[in-house]
Structure formats: structure tokens, C-alpha cells
Amino acid sequence: RLSCIRNNVWLACCGVVSAGLAVLSSFGLMLFCGVPFVVTVANAPFLILGVGVDDMFIMIASWEQSSRKKEKSSVKSLLAETYSEAALSVTITTLTDVLAFFIGTWTAFPSVRSFCLYTGTAFVFCYVYTMTFFGAVLVLNHKREEGNRHWLTCMRVAVDKDQAENSCLYNACCIGSCSRQSSEPEGEHPMSIFFKKYYGPFVTNKWIKLLLVLLYGAYLGGSIYGCTQIREGIDLRNLANDDSYVIPYYDDDEKYFSTYGPRVMVVITERVDYWNETVRHGIESCAQNLE
């Protein structure tokens, strides 16, 4: 928006800061508890940032809708209405993410287990900061707009009709609107119109609902069958860089030695008299039996 009052740059920045605080809190807690930090954990902040920004947009959209429905309501009632609309969606999203990553801690791979612990804990902190820190930022931003204060300096902006005759850039930066005419109420978003007038009636048609149920049943059946075909394991080549020297080694190992099966090694921890011919024959016989 070309408005020095309704511009929400700081609000968006605080949403990103909220995700960053979640990452710092979770990493600090896991390191304090002695959970190993592996290289794959470095990818977790990007996941948290994506979920945190998504939660931020949900909160802002709910706040804007509540503000339009209750223009003269108190800040407390606006925030309560916002939480009642957005908290359910944010909570369900967080629960599914946390459950998925904490289930991943059952894996036998220590690196994957550490990654799931760090990321799952970060999602919990992201939810807490969204419900507390970002909610407070929404209230402060609302008070700034109500006080007619500039988005950058937070200084009060004077509205003068005589000054509105200045340039468009001056109006946008110093008065609050590039338009010199009185502001009109915002219209409904085209995407909202599409879902309300076209997509909604289309989906609620009885034949479409039957088709969707059948498609979902087919999807569910395919998913269950796919779960039964999953085999635990990992290709070690996927853990190395594409230009790593390890890749040709694994390629040659699979090409020339895959037909022989896995290597079997016998470790004798006790002292052995290798000078004794009988002992040597016994070791050889043991190795042949294993082969």
C-alpha cells in the first residue's frame, strides 16, 4: 500500500524475527540437553522460516477481517477474534508438523534423529512465539495506525487538506496516501470472489462430492499400499555432494562387487596362537563355514 501509516513493513519483519527466535530457542535448548548438532540440522531454519511466515500471514489476514467486522471494538476483542479465527489453523498445522518430526526420532540413523529433534522442537517454539510475541506486535501495530503514526519513524503524521495538493510522492511518504481523493472502502479480493461464487458451489454439487469421495478413497488405498512397500534403508551416495570422490567409489563398488553380497569380517578378540597349525586350520574352517 502507498501509505506511510498502513504500511506493515515492520509487522512483516517481526514475523520473520519470531521465526528466528524460535530457531535460536530450540537450538539452544537442544545443545543444552546435549543433542548432537549435525550438518543436516543446518537446513532446519529454512523450514521454520517457511512455517513461521505462513502463520504470520494467517494471523494478519484474521486481524484484518476482524478489524473490518468490528471497526470500533476494543483491542482486546479484536485480538480475541483474531485468535479465535487463526489459532485453530495454526495449531493444527503445528501439531501435524511436530508429530511428523517427532515420529522421525524413532529412526536408527543418529543424524536423522538429531535433525528431527531440532526441527520438531523449533516448530513448538515457533507456535509459542506466534501466539505470544507476534500477537503483541499486532496490537502495537494497530495502536500505531490508530495514532496516525508513520510506519518507519513512528512519528505522528499530520493530515492537512492543503498539503494534499502537493506531489504524489509527498502524499505517500508524509501524509499517508498517494491518492488526493477521499479513500474508499477496499473491495473484496478477486480470489475470494472466485472461491465464494464459483469454486464453492462447484465443490458442493452432489455429483462432485461423490467424485471427490471416490478419488479420496483411491488415494487412501494407494497410500496404504505404498506404505506396505516401504523398505528401510538409505543410499549412501545421497549423503555426499555430487562432486565428491565418494560417489565414484560407491558406483564402482556396486558395479564390480555387488554380486558378492556384503562383506563379512570375523574379529577374534582373544589371544590366538597362530604358530599352532591346528588353530590356523580352525580359523580357516570357521571362515569357510561363514562363507
Q: What is the pLDDT of residues 234-248, one digit of tens each?
A: 777 776 767 788 889
Res 158: pLDDT = 66
For residues 273 and 266, give the distance between their C-alpha atoms in angstroms, rounded to a whole number: 16
Please, are residues 101 and 120 in contact by the beta-carbon 8 Å criterion? yes
Q: Quick check: 250 pLDDT over 60? A: yes
Domain assignment of residue 170, yes or no: no
Q: CB within 8 A of 62, min separation 6: which ones? A: 81, 82, 85, 86
% of the chain beyond a pLDDT of 90: 39
pLDDT at 180: 38
For residue 133, the enclosing domain spans 9-156
Specify if 4 maps to a domain.
Answer: no
Q: Do 22 and 150 sit in the same domain of this protein?
A: yes
Do 133 and 220 belong to one domain?
no
pLDDT attached to residue 178: 43
Residues 253, 250: Cα–Cα separation, whole Å: 5
> What are the beta bridge partners of residue 156?
149
Does residue 178 fall inside a structural domain?
Answer: no
Chain segment 173-207, per-residue pLDDT in tens: 666 544 434 445 556 678 888 888 899 899 999 99
Task: Evaluate whether residue 104 is within a structural domain.
Answer: yes
Average pLDDT of the chain to the nearest whole number: 84
Question: In whole angstroms, what separates CA 195 from the centre of its chain?
Answer: 26
| Residue of 69, 66, 68, 47 whose CA lies nearest to 58 | 66
Q: According to the model, what pLDDT value does residue 9 have? A: 86
Q: Look up cell 499400499; give the residue.
A: 225
Say if residue 117 is in the same domain as residue 249. Answer: no
Report whether pLDDT(48) > 90.
yes
Residues 29 and 66 in one domain: yes
- What is residue 176's predicted lDDT score, i.e. its pLDDT? 55
Under 8 Å between Cβ of 3 and 177 = yes
Residues 137 and 107 occupy one common structural domain: yes
What does the longest C-alpha to C-alpha distance in the chain come to? 111
Is 30 among the domain residues? yes
Range among 64-68, 99-103, 163-167, 252-256 rated most confident: 99-103
Residue 2: all three cell numbers together: 502507498
The pLDDT of residue 159:
61
- For the stretch 9-22, pLDDT in tens is 888 999 999 999 99
Statement to judge: residues 136 and 47 lie in one domain: yes
Per-residue pLDDT averaged across 53-57, rounded? 94
Question: What was the pLDDT predicted at 143?
Answer: 87
pLDDT for res 2: 60
Report how far apart, in Å, the C-alpha atoms of 85 and of each of 60, 61, 266, 272 are.
11, 10, 64, 75
Same domain, 21 and 134: yes
What is the rounded distance in angstroms from the CA atom of residue 213 to the CA atom of residue 219? 10
Assess whether 38 and 139 both reside in one domain. yes
Our measurement of the distance from residue 20's CA atom to the centroid of its chain's CA atoms, rounded to an integer in Å, reads 12
Given a contact cutoff of 8 angstroms between Cβ atoms, the answer to whether 141 and 11 are in contact is yes
18 and 125 assigned to the same domain: yes
Indicate whether 221 and 90 sit together in one domain: no
Is residue 127 domain-shared with residue 213, that is, in the same domain? no
Would 91 be classed as within a structural domain?
yes
**Of 47-51, 74-78, 205-209, the least confident:** 74-78
Is residue 255, in this structure, part of any structural domain at all?
Answer: yes
The answer as to whether 206 is a domain residue is: yes
In terms of domains, do 117 and 62 share one? yes
Q: Which residue in this structure is represented by grid cell 555430487?
A: 242
Rounded Cα distance between 53 and 4, Å, is 23
Residue 21 and residue 13: Cα distance in Å, rounded?
12
Count of the separate structural domains present in the chain: 3
Alpha helix stretches (DSSP H) within 70-205: 75-103, 110-129, 135-146, 168-170, 190-194, 200-203
